[in-house]
Amino acid sequence: MKKKKSVFFPVFMVLVFIFMYAPIVLLMIFSFNNSKSRSVWHGFSMKWYLKLLKDENIIHSLQVTLAVSLLAALLATILGTLAAIGIFNMKRRPRRLVMTANNIPMMNPDIILGVSLMLMFIFMAQTLHLHMFRLGFLTLLIAHITFDTPYVILSVMPRLRQIDIKQYEAARDLGATIFQAYRYVIIPQILPGVITGAILSFTLSIDDVVVSYFTSGPTTETLGVIIFGMTRRRVSPEINALCTIMFVVVLLLLLVINFRELKNAKESERS
């Protein structure tokens, strides 16, 4: 006999989603409020978004966030793709060991990663006198690459398991160099995983607060760090507007990732 689904299950799921997203919806609604009130609606207005665009501190932090996120996503995608190919060609036991090590940055709390990287950068700058590692843009970029790369590896590895290795061997037999075989045979087959990893890296970077808080300098604060600093004082409606923009951007990126994965899954089923 088939088990009947509980009548309360859909209701329970609806309540869970309301509990999760109602605060965000409320934040987005009051970002268009005409007054500073966070509880009483005084009419629709875009003035907080306009005021946000005139805030030099926020505009600078936005530039830093975009620069770090784009560069970190690009470099992490290159490093992660190369690492995934190298790990895939390992023997079974070393591969399992390396993949376990790769999962550690994702399983660790962000605060451990942030504090560890901060201490390392301070040690290199003050003890080893490597002044390039003073807390600033470079340290922030390295920190983002550190936690982005494992996600790229996890995105590329499944695609590597699906490739037809016979095509690579045929290319080599026909005179292609290793570089040419990888460029024209392997890379096109794993490209969907590479793109997914790049988008995921960008999303994680633009959304990070904890690691950025410990590894950024006074002139290289990201949007997340700026918002965190604002919450220590009275919350301004500008924060509502800024959080709304960030939420919409991250949501769109996640939708792109999910649609790509769904499309790839359908193509795999057809093939």
Average pLDDT over residues 108-128: 91
Q: What integer pLDDT is reported at residue 74 of this predicted model?
A: 96
Could you tell me the residue range of the domain that residue 150 belongs to? Answer: 50-270
Structure tokens belonging to residue 35: 């007054």
**Whether the predicted pLDDT of 28 surpasses 80:** yes
Q: What integer pLDDT is reported at residue 251 of this predicted model?
A: 85
Residue 23 maps to a domain: no
Residue 72 maps to a domain: yes
Residue 21 maps to a domain: no
- Higher-scoring residue by pLDDT: 186, 271: 186
Please report which confidence band the pLDDT of residue 32 belongs to, taking 50, 70 and 90 as the band edges: confident
Nearest to 38 by CA among 23, 51, 54: 23
Residue 42 maps to a domain: no
The count of C-alpha atoms lying within 13 angstroms of the C-alpha of 153, restricted to the half-sphere facing its C-beta, is: 25
Q: What is the DSSP code string of 147-177?
A: HHHHHHHHHHHHHHHHS-HHHHHHHHHTT--
Residue 121 maps to a domain: yes
**Whether the predicted pLDDT of 231 surpasses 60:** yes
DSSP 239: H
Residue 41 maps to a domain: no
Residue 134 maps to a domain: yes
Nearest to 223 by CA among 72, 67, 101, 86: 67
Nearest to 69 by CA among 143, 122, 136, 151: 143
14 exposure class (CB count in 10 Å sphere: 0-12, 13-18, 19+):
exposed
Average pLDDT over the chain reads 85
**Whether the predicted pLDDT of 3 surpasses 70:** no
Taking the CB of residue 192, how many other CB atoms lie within 10 A of it?
20
- Higher-scoring residue by pLDDT: 167, 7: 167
Total of domains in the chain: 1
Structure tokens belonging to residue 25: 């919806």
Q: What integer pLDDT is reported at residue 1 of this predicted model?
A: 44
Residue 184 maps to a domain: yes
Contacts of 185 (CB under 8 A, 6+ apart): 167, 168, 171, 176
Q: What integer pLDDT is reported at residue 138 of this predicted model?
A: 93
pTM > 0.85:
no
- Least reliable range by pLDDT among 27-31, 104-108, 250-254: 250-254
CATH number of the domain residue 210 falls in: 1.10.3720.10
